């Protein structure tokens, strides 16, 4: 009888322990407090390795929910479809971003929500979707992976460039260039005195140029005055030319007047003067032949035939 009582007590304590363990497990997984959640979709185009169902969802490092489900997107299998359960009082808005993070070195993943203000607009529910969609931002590991890929590509390019630079042909060209530089250095050393003289001549030229530049304003003033004098002279010559043209026009008019009015009477007068001279010549000849003509006059001419 006593042994039966002991088994009953042990069985009771075992059942009580199992119930307590179940309650603790439920409390640790979802908590005993009743909470209301909003559900959101997240489409990620990067690996979600380390993330599992019931993984925490954090908002600025504070637990605000959990991952409800994980799967591939049907129409776009390259993307991962996540359903997040987020407490209703968390300000998830249109500018909120979901980022995949890991906890320390353990590799256990969780979803981090960043951004979102109380006065920002809510995320609209798109047609054909069950829940609003939170946009994603690349995770730290994704950014590091891209940076490493780019770094690897750059290192490869640099390696190929160095390989081309350090080729046998370029090495020979570099050797020739170094020999040419050495030759140029030797020539420069030999012509050091000539360079000193050239520098001295250059300094003299610079000094003369400076002196000339100081005299340049006065020279420019003189040139301006000379140019003004030439301009005045040109104006005077232009005026004189105009007057000369007027004078020549008047001379042409006077010559035309002389030709038209004075020249014909003068020609007639000269002709009459010639006739007078001929008459005087005839009279002179008659006086030479018969001086008595001055007293007696000219004898009448003998009558012609039929005259008395």
In a domain, 95, yes or no: yes
Reported as a pLDDT band with limits 50, 70 and 90, residue 12 is confident
Where residue 1 falls among pLDDT bands split at 50, 70, 90?
A: very low
* Same-domain check for residues 121 and 71: yes
Residue 94 and residue 8 share a domain? no
Residues 12 and 73 reside in one and the same domain = no
Asked if 10 and 77 sit in the same domain, the reply is no
Does residue 197 carry a pLDDT above 50?
yes
- pTM of the predicted model over 0.85: no
- The per-residue pLDDT of the chain, averaged, comes to 76
Q: Per residue in 240-282, pLDDT tens?
A: 667 766 766 766 666 666 566 666 666 666 677 667 677 666 6
117 near 91, Cβ under 8 Å? yes
**pLDDT at residue 301 above 60?**
no
Q: pLDDT-based confidence at 40, cuts 50/70/90?
A: very high
Is residue 190 in a domain?
A: no
pLDDT at 137 over 70: yes
What value does the mean pLDDT take over residues 70-79? 86
* 46 lies in the same domain as 130: yes
**Residue 188: count of CB within 10 angstroms of its CB:** 11
Q: Are residues 39 and 28 in the same domain?
A: no
Distance (Å, whole) CA 129 – CA 39? 12
- For residue 69, the SS3 value is strand
User: Is residue 199 in some structural domain?
Assistant: no
Helices of type H across the chain: 2-29, 140-165, 168-190, 192-257, 263-289, 293-296
User: How does DSSP classify residue 36?
Assistant: -
Q: What is the pLDDT of residue 160?
A: 76
Among 139, 78, 88, 91, which residue's Cα sits nearest to residue 112? Answer: 139
State whether 29 and 123 are in the same domain.
no
Average pLDDT over residues 35-59: 87
Of the given ranges (19-33, 56-70, 79-93, 96-110), which has the lowest mean pLDDT? 19-33
Per-residue pLDDT tens digits for 205-235 = 888 777 767 776 776 777 777 777 767 777 7
Same domain, 90 and 15: no
% of the chain exceeding 70 in pLDDT: 70
For the cut 70, the answer to whether the pLDDT of residue 110 exceeds it is: yes
Average pLDDT over residues 95-110: 79
Q: Is residue 108 domain-resident?
A: yes
Write down the pLDDT at residue 263: 61
Within-domain flag for 209: no
Question: What is the pLDDT at residue 84?
Answer: 92
Q: Are residues 234 and 274 in the same domain?
A: yes
| Residue 4 predicted with pLDDT over 60 | no
Q: How many domains does the chain have?
A: 3
Distances (CA, A) of 193 to 181, 188, 196, 198: 20, 9, 5, 9
Q: Which residues span the domain enclosing 227? A: 216-286
Separation CA 52–CA 67 (nearest Å): 7
- Shared domain check, 99 and 15: no
> Looking at the structure, do residues 4 and 70 belong to the same domain, yes or no?
no
Largest CA distance in the chain: 236
Question: Is it the case that residue 33 has pLDDT exceeding 60?
Answer: no
15 occurs within a structural domain = yes
CA distances from 210 to 34, 98, 205, 207, 227 (A): 94, 72, 9, 5, 25
Q: Is the pLDDT of residue 120 over 90?
A: no
Residue 208 lies in a domain: no
* Residue 203, domain member (yes or no): no
Do 82 and 29 fall within a single domain?
A: no
């Amino acid at each position: 009888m006593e042994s039966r009582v002991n088994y009953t007590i042990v069985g009771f304590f075992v059942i009580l322990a199992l119930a307590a363990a179940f309650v603790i497990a439920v409390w640790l997984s979802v908590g005993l407090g009743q909470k209301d959640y909003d559900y959101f979709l997240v489409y990620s185009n990067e690996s979600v390795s380390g993330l599992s169902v019931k993984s925490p969802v954090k908002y600025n490092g504070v637990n605000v929910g959990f991952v409800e489900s994980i799967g591939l997107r049907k129409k776009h299998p390259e993307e991962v479809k996540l359903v997040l359960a987020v407490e209703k009082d968390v300000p998830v808005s249109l500018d909120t971003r979901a980022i995949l993070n890991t906890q320390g070195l353990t590799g256990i993943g969780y979803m981090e929500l960043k951004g979102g203000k109380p006065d920002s607009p809510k995320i609209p529910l798109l047609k054909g979707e069950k829940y609003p969609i939170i946009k994603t931002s690349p995770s730290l590991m994704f950014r590091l992976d891209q940076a490493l890929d780019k770094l690897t590509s750059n290192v490869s390019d640099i390696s190929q460039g160095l390989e081309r630079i350090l080729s046998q042909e370029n090495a020979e060209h570099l050797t020739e260039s170094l020999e040419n530089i050495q030759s140029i250095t030797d020539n420069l050393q030999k012509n050091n005195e000539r360079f000193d003289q050239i520098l001295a001549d250059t300094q003299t030229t610079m000094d003369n140029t400076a002196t000339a530049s100081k005299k340049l304003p006065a020279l420019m003033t003189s040139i301006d005055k000379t140019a003004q004098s030439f301009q005045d002279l040109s104006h005077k010559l232009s005026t004189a030319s105009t007057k000369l043209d007027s004078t020549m026009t008047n001379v042409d008019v006077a010559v035309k007047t002389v030709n038209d009015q004075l020249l014909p009477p003068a020609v007639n007068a000269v002709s009459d003067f010639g006739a007078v001279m001929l008459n005087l010549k005839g009279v002179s000849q008659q006086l030479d032949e018969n001086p008595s003509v001055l007293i007696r006059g000219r004898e009448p001419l003998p009558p012609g035939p039929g005259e008395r």
